Each structure stands twice: as C-alpha cells, then as structure tokens.
Chains A and B, each alone.
Chain A
Amino acid sequence: MLNGVKRDIPKNLPRFISSDDFLNKSRRLIEKKKKQSKTVFFNSYDEVFDKLKIKDKQTLSFHHHLRNGDKVIQDVSKIIKKLGLKDLHFAPSSIFPSYTNMIDLIFNGNITNIHTNYLNGEVAKIISEGKLKGKLVMNTHGGRARAIESGDLGIDVAFIACPTVDKFGNGTGAIGKNACGTLGYCISDLEYAKKVVLVTDNLVGKLDSYQLNGEYVDGVLVVDSIGEAKGIVSGTTEITKDPVGLKIAKDCSSLLYELDLIKNNFSMQTGAGKTSLAVVNYVKDIMKKQNIIGEFASGGITKSYVDMLEEGLFKKLYDVQCFDLDAVKSFRKNKNHIAMSASEYGNPFVKNSIANKLDFVILGATEIDIDFNVNVTTDSIGYIIGGSGGHADIAKGAKVTIIISPLIKSRIPIIKEKVNTITTPGEDIDILITERGIAINPKRKDLIEKLKTTKIKIYDIKELLEKTHNLTGVPSKIKVSDDIIGYVEYRDGTYIDVLREVHNDYIR
C-alpha cells in the first residue's frame, strides 16, 4: 500500500502519512526503570553476560559517541561470538566502519535484527547485500528516543561506553582519558532499558557533575580502554577550497541574509562538512559586521561553533554529540555549552525540543527529487551509506530547512525524478542550493515572495534537473531487487520507505 510519499509499504506495517501526523497522536511513555539494588561493579564482560543473564533474541543497545574510536561494541561483539548467542537484536544509535566485529555476527546469525540511525562501512555493505537474516530499521535520532521511551523499541541491556564513572554509578563524558563530551544519544537507553551497564576506563570517587545519573545504572564495568577518543572526529576544521563548494556556501549566506534569517537571537544548525563550515564562516562574517548575537547553535558541535561561542556571537550551544576534541574541551569548561539528550533534541513529542526552536538548518543530500524528498540513506545503486541521524528531525522542526549540494557528485546528478530512498519527506525541505541555481519548494510561497525583490534568481527544481541532465545526460534507471532488507522509519514510528537488497548486477 502506498504511503504519504507514494512509497509501497507492506500491509500491516505503519505507513507514513505526513510529517505532521504525529500531532494527531498522544505521547506514549513507558515507566522509567526503577533500579532494584545498588550499583554492582563487574570484573569482566563475561561476568556482565552471566550476571545479567543475557540470552538469545534479546535487544542490546549502544551509543556512538566514540564514533570510529569505539571499542565497547567491538568487545561486546567478541563475547557474543564466544558465547554463541543467537538471534540478537542490536540497537546502536549508529554503526561506524570500525565496528567490524559485527560482521561475523551478522553472517552467522548471532545478530539477526538491527535498529539504528546511521550505518556506514562494511556492516552497511553486507546488510545492503542481504546478509542480515532479519530486518534493519533505520530511524532518526529523535525517533529512536521516542521509540525507546514509548516501549516500541524495548531494550534488554544497554551497554553505555562512559569516559568517567564514579563509585555511585554516575557518569560523564566530559573528563577521562577518552573524554568524548556530551552523551546525548544514550539518555533514553539509560532511563528506559531494563538493565544498564556503564563501561568505563576511568573510575573516580565522586563526580560533582554528571550527565548519566547512577540511579538508573545497574552495573559498572571497568576496562582498560573503552576506545580512542581521537576517533570521534567528524567533519573538518578546514573551510572548503573546492570552488563549487565555495560558490554554494556564498550563495547560501546571501540567501540567509536576504531572508533576514541572520538577526539578533536567531538559532541555527549545520552539518560538519567543509562546505557547511564555509557557510558558518560567511554567517560569522555577517554577524560580526552587523553586531548580531545569536541565541544558540545546536547539533553535533564542532570547533567553528565553539569559536563563535567564545567570541560571544552565540549565547549558547546545545550539544547532543561533540564532533571534535575542541568541542569536548569546550563542553568541559564552558557552562554555556549545554548537553542535550536525543529526546530534547528531536523527539517529535517533545514540544519544546531544540529542533523545534531552530530558525534554520543547513543539511546535505545524497539525492533530492522533484518533490523535494531527500535521500541520505542509500547511494546511487542502492548501497546503504548513511541514514537520517537528525536530518528528518531538524528538517521538520526548523522554520527554514535548506539543502546544500553540488548538482553533480562524482559524475552522478543529485536531482532525480524520484530518489532511490526517502529519508526526509519533501514537505519538510524548503530550499535547495546548488552551484547552478536555487530552487524553493513551491509550498513555501512566503519565501518565494520575500526573494522576489532581491537579485537572487530562483529556479523551478525541474529546471535544475534539466541543467544537470544537460551536463551528464539522463542516467539510466537503477535496478532494484524485490527483496526487502529493512525499512526507513520516520520519527513518528511510521514507515516512510523500504530498503531493498542491492541488485546482483551491482554487487562489488
């Protein structure tokens, strides 16, 4: 049956209707866990598995704050292999290329179902090729928090890598040899999982301030290393030198200026790529020249935003995840660098979420179609190469959502008649900025009207599609297999698209 974005969703599964549809539903919350006894200290992963009676078919969750530097999910995977547990449901908030120990577990049926927000690397490749025996569900950061808090995603044991833990089971990411900053993605896991284990490599006597409350923690495992904090670095500290990226960034800043979005007390969020950084720099210049002070910037926080906070250009940073070590340092030292949970960030049922307070967001796209639907999940031949993360959450919440992208990436047009996979519905995308022109979603008549008196030329997105085809020719249609390997779950818990196995012709 077709859903609200005309994708065929199997019967009996919840179909996406519209991004506002959750407003017709009331929030469901299960009770927060109540710890039965005082915090236990374990000596080994084996003991954790033994004492917590972890068994086949259970759901284990993890966060991804250590990103490519994470060792906890790797170590837990090793134990699962050793114990031969079967049919486990893994629910990490994201899966990175370094999580290689999951590969054998997927091939051997130890892990048969996965729930995550973002997926990249070899695990993504084998799942794309149909090696996961069950299903993959890819939801959003805010949607994951909603699912856990409502009981839709029940977690048996949450393994939470935590850079510093005290003797009372309280935890923080601000300090420790592997400090990674905020721990926003695991707050729902902490509060709602049946059992919670903090895994740390830095045990201290008593923490004065902490983000993870020991009240919810069943056990603590002290290990030699939870990973490598250097691996958390995402994005870049260098502004793009790519001329196409620079052109897009410049045009984006001009558009923000003309739309009067850069003004006192405004709020913004961008990605961490080089072009986004160039946009941030242009915005910074405008703010300095016009003595503008913004209310807050949010998201995964990078050095560029830390610098702006320190220069007094923003009053606050709301941070769900530190993207580099400068952000970690800032979070530790600056009281205006504030941690937020994934729920506070983008849960649709949290009315005053940070996503809902954003004036504008600047996001990327792997593909965008003529209905403005965006794909950041699969590549041009259907391999999974990412996922929503917070994309769909902030696209819905922000007053203006802007996609920046070159028209052509590696000779492949990014504008399509229909995207291969819908991650974020077109109704939540307002503006597309490319190096060859800007298109505005026709439903945003207010923005179109506002730009009428400016020099910014607006194209119909179909004109941009034609321009692209003039350069590349019309790409042949992608072949898809009939086999469904998983679903893209919108933030409200409905299915916005299906994920299909990569066609045999493309297996590499």
Chain B
Amino acid sequence: MFRSLLFVPGNNPSMLQNADIFMCDAIIFDLEDSVNLDEKDNARNLVETYLLTTKELPKAVILRINPVNSELINDDLKLLETRRIDYVLLPKANKISLFVLDKILNDLENKFELKQTKVICLVEEAKAIIEVYDLAIHERVRGLLLGAEDLTSELEINRTISGEEILYARSKVIYAAISNKIIPIDTPFTDINDTEGLIKDCKKALNLGMKAKTAIHPSQLETINDIFSPSKEAIEWAKALLAKAKTLNKGAFQFEGKMIDRPIIEKAKKIIEKAKLFDLM
C-alpha cells in the first residue's frame, strides 16, 4: 500500500545517497527515461552499488527497467540478484511486454533461487489502456501506474491542469486495479513549482479512485501524502464507528444518524489499516 512514490534517476548519486530520508512510501530507481543512453551503465552500476552497500533502504524499492525489447533489459534485471528490490516497474507495459518480462523473470528466479518478483505495470500506451484488465489479472502484477505524458504524446493531445483528456485512462486504470485488488497509481504532476496545481491534480485523482501518486521531485511528497492519507476526521470517525460495531455486534446499526452496514464497516477498517500503516495514529 502506497500513497507516494518518488522517481529518482539512477545516475544521480546525491539523490541515491539520500533515498531513505525522503517522505515517500516507495522510491522508483529509474534506469529508463530519466537516464540518457550513454549513462545507462553508469546508472545501473550506481543503483547496484547503492543497493548492496546502503544500511538504510527506503520503505519500498522499485526498479524501473528499460523496455523488454531493448538490449539493456538483461543487465537491468541482474540487479534483482541484490535481493533488495521489492518491485519491478515495467515501462510500455502491454500483454506482450508483460509476457516477455514474466518469462525472463521465471528464468532468473529459477537460476538464482529468487522469490517471485512483483511487478507494477506502467500503463502509458493506448494499447495498454485497452489491455489494462489483462495486465491487472496477472499474478505478478501488484499495481498499475498511469503514465499520462507518453500516452497523451501518442494521442497527440495536450496535457491540461484539469486533466479531462486523461479521464478515460485514469478510470480504466482505476477500475482494472481495484477490481483485481491491486493498487492504481496516478501519473506524476510535472510542474514542480505549481503547488496549487499539484493539490488540484491530487484531489481529482483521489476522487476518481486513485490510491497513490508518483512524484518527480521530493518537494511534491508532502502534498501527495497529505491528500492520499486518511484525514484526522476520517480516522476518528472510523475508530468510533468500529468501536460501536464491536459493542453492538450487529450487521446493521445507526451511527451519527446514518445507517451502517458491512460496506461502510469495511471502509472504516481500510481507513484504520492505512492510518496504522502510514503511522497516522
């Protein structure tokens, strides 16, 4: 379960060194888009050295590999041998690329006796939006991350603050993820100086059903965490409701003037689960 995931370019040593101190729930060490071709080996070496030598890792480690049809993929996935990577982020995910990745991972896991590698699919192509449910049902896949920049580029449309152009894509990702009990993760907000815009974008994504958002700069994390965390009021409401449910031990009852039944109790339980996980209680 995440609220915030921060992209860190693999070739940025100072960001790597401080990866454990940022206020995010996961770090995405990027070997793909933020790293130029002539820096790929350097970035991979730096990330590997960091993973092998650091004493304090971030809460969760995600590795964004290069596309499976690139020559870089095998070297990228060798980093799994460090046994310190929690998820692989598959760029340009679609049914074929996920199939190929699954096959490579099976071979690696057998050869090096690794446990099953969890995958987050980066949904950033029109084809992927159509196939997103098939990605979500794959046993390795634990999350779907919408990549709106590549998607809108392919569609030849402009990104806007209101985000209407990605409403369909966001919704597809959310419904595919939620219906398969995995996490939908929202696309990053790319203007790091526009805090108001970030707030609006987070709220929009949250209200549609996104459960987390990626950040491209640490300065975005506080806003993202605030918006994707249960509020103090929600936590208090959930605590009181669950306390009453425990006392009454009934399937349905009244609470604060409203009828409460199983779905509401489940919602309250999720709030408490998140609050505990994110150290809000």
Contact = CB atoms under 8 A, between A and B. Distances in A.
B22 A471 contact: no
Interface stretch (A146-154, A240-248, A321-329, A339-347): A240-248
B29 to A, nearest CB: 15
A82 to B, nearest CB: 50
A343 B24 CA distance: 46
A317 to B, nearest CB: 27
Interface string B200-238: 000000000000000001110010000000000000000
B219 A246 contact: yes
Nearest to B22: A243
B21 A435 contact: yes
A243 B279 contact: no
Contacts, number: 27
B17 interface: yes
A76 B97 CA distance: 75
A471 B23 contact: no
A323 B241 CA distance: 54
A244 B192 CA distance: 16
A455 interface: yes
Contacts of B15: 243
A247 B192 CA distance: 16
Contact of B279 (A246, A250, A436, A455): A455
A455 B22 CA distance: 17
Contact of B23 (A241, A250, A455, A470): A250
A435 B18 contact: yes
B55 interface: yes
A250 B222 contact: yes
B217 A247 contact: no
Contact of A241 (B22, B55, B217, B222): B217
A243 B216 CA distance: 12
Interface string B20-41: 0111000000000000000000
A146 B218 CA distance: 46
Contact of B18 (A241, A243, A250, A470): A243
The 8 nearest A-B residue pairs measured at CB: A243-B218, A435-B21, A247-B21, A470-B55, A244-B18, A241-B219, A246-B219, A436-B21
Interface of B: 15, 17-18, 21-23, 55, 192, 217-219, 222, 279
16 contacts: A241-B192, A241-B219, A243-B21, A243-B22, A243-B217, A243-B219, A244-B18, A244-B21, A247-B21, A247-B218, A250-B23, A250-B222, A435-B21, A436-B21, A455-B279, A470-B55
